[in-house]
């Protein structure tokens, strides 16, 4: 379960692409087993995920 807020239409707010992985791991209590200084955009691109929500669904 995530603690992300939703906008008025009920969708999750978008996370900034330049967010560091360590920030996400700390906030959502997940371990992605990668370098913590990697940007979210790089991780999404390298692993074929369309969004942060898809990453969290797989963990």
Average confidence (pLDDT) per 10 residues, the chain, 59 residues: 64 73 90 92 93 83
Q: CB–CB of 19/39 below 8 Å?
A: yes
What single string gives the DSSP state of each residue in the chain?
Answer: -----B-TTSPBPPPPTT-BHHHHHHHHT---SS-TTSBHHHHHHHHT-SSHHHHHHH-
**Is 7 part of a structural domain of the chain?**
no
What's the whole-model pTM score? Answer: 0.65
**Is 39 part of a structural domain of the chain?**
yes
**Is 10 part of a structural domain of the chain?**
no
Domain that holds residue 32: 21-58
Q: What is the pLDDT of residue 42?
A: 94
Number of domains in the chain: 1
**Is 2 part of a structural domain of the chain?**
no
**Is 13 part of a structural domain of the chain?**
no
């Amino acid at each position: 379960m995530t603690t992300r807020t939703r906008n008025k239409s009920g969708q999750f707010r978008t996370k900034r692409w330049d967010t560091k992985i360590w920030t996400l791991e700390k906030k959502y209590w997940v371990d992605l087993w990668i370098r913590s200084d990697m940007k979210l955009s790089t991780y999404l691109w390298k692993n074929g995920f369309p969004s942060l929500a898809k990453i969290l669904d797989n963990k």
